[in-house]
Amino acid sequence: MISKSQGMPNTPYLDASVQWRIKAGTLDLHESGYRSTTESILACGLATEVVGLISAGKEADVYLARYRGAPLAVKVYRLYRTSHRGGGPIKADALGWRTAHEFEMTRQAWKGGARVPAPARRVENMFSMRYLGGDDGPAPRLHDLRLEDPEAFLSEVLAGVRALVHAGVVPGDLSAFNILVHEGEPWFIDLSEAVRVDRTGTSPWMRLSEAETLLRRGMDALQGYFRRYGIRMDPDSFVPDALGSFDRFGVLR
Ligand SMILES: Nc1ncnc2c1ncn2[C@@H]1O[C@H](COP(=O)(O)OP(=O)(O)OP(=O)(O)O)[C@@H](O)[C@H]1O
Ligand SMILES: [Mg+2]
């Protein structure tokens, strides 16, 4: 049903961003960063073995690890971020907070039955979760795939977004980059910027309009992906409809 598009990396566990960073010299696998992160993952007991790097992002790296043989993904927020202006590394604040937030959002979504990797444990700036993928490598991102039945897959994605919202979680960075395709199904990852819509506390108006803005942006990003198949989406009705059950006061109407 799904085929990998050209240009996908052949080397297992190293995606294009990792390979690019090694080539460009911004990431050195033998540098103490990799080794000391591996040591911290083992020392705090998140895993009993670190297999290798799956992805090196702007703010976090994701490792394939094992806990007594069982595979796990471990996301590690970096303590330093590289400055975009090409200067030295800048210290990023509150990474423990970001990790805790993503862990909590993932847990909330998972408890509510949404298709997210089951979170396992968090320690400081690292957390472990179910590994999505197989022996031949991690599940590909939707962005890197050419779907054979895009219409059917889009309805799976929309049902998945509804399930997240139903669980009270609105993803802040929804796009084809943050959906992994595992066993033919969409899995939602990277809930670091997600917000809760089922909470009282802030006023419903603030909460719902923020959720609406985020969801709207996510739907636009997905629209950008599905346009390659000539499929048009209808965020104007989807977004208020998905948030409808939380909108007791008619804020979005
Ligand atoms: N549970 C998982 N199983 C398998 N692979 C995963 C898992 N979680 C993340 N990955 C891989 O790691 C990549 C990056 O993960 P994620 O999107 O959570 O990080 P990121 O926050 O986008 O990084 P950055 O924002 O710093 O670029 C994903 O595209 C995917 O390839
Ligand atoms: Mg991401």
Q: What is the pLDDT of residues 198-210, one digit of tens each?
A: 875 566 666 888 9
Question: Is the pLDDT at 132 greater than 70, yes or no?
Answer: yes
| Segments of 104-198 assigned E as strands | 119-123, 126-130, 133-134, 137-138, 145-147, 169-170, 179-182, 185-188, 195-196
Atom of ligand 1 nearest to the CA of 140: 31
Say how far apart CA 8 and CA 136 lie, in whole Å.
13
Question: Is the Cβ atom of 132 under 6 angstroms away from ligand 1?
Answer: yes
Q: Which of 4, 27, 62 to mutate to test the pocket of ligand 1 (most atoms within 8 A of CB)?
A: 62
Per-residue pLDDT tens over the stretch 233-243 = 999 999 999 99
Q: Which atom of ligand 1 is nearest to the CA of 78?
A: 26
Q: What is the pLDDT of residues 40-78, one digit of tens each?
A: 999 999 999 999 999 988 789 999 999 999 999 999 987
Q: How far is Cα 71 from Cα 102, in angstroms, rounded to an integer?
A: 20
Can you tell me the distance from the alpha carbon of 182 to that of 160, in angstroms, rounded to the nearest whole number? 13
Q: Which atom of ligand 1 is nearest to the CA of 62?
A: 12
CA of 250 to the centre of ligand 2 (A): 32
Beta bridge partners of 82: 89
Cβ-contact 180, 130 below 8 angstroms: no
CATH number of 9-134: 3.30.200.20
CA distance 149 to 161: 19
Any ligand 1 atom below 6 A from CB of 181: no
pLDDT at 129 exceeding the cut of 70: yes
- The top-level CATH class assigned to 139-246 is mainly alpha
Rounded CA gap, 68 and 74, in Å? 14
d(CA 16, CA 56): 9
Q: What is the distance in A from the centroid of ligand 2 to the CA of 57?
A: 8
pLDDT reported for residue 31: 43
Residue 66: is it exposed, middle or buried by C-beta count within 10 angstroms (0-12/13-18/19+)? Answer: middle
Distance CA 15, CA 91 (A): 25
* Closest ligand, as measured to the CA of 191: 1
pLDDT tens profile 149-165? 999 999 999 999 999 99
pLDDT value of position 59? 82
Rounded CA-CA distance 41/20 in Å is 24
Which alpha helices (H) appear in the chain, and where do they start and end?
16-24, 32-43, 95-111, 150-166, 204-226, 235-243
Amino acid sitting at position 6 = Q
Q: Assess contact for 154 and 231: CB atoms under 8 A.
A: yes
The number of angstroms, rounded, from the C-alpha of 245 to the middle of its chain's C-alpha atoms is: 25
**Taking the domains of the chain in order of start, what are their residue ranges?**
9-134, 139-246
Name residue 134's beta-bridge partners: 137
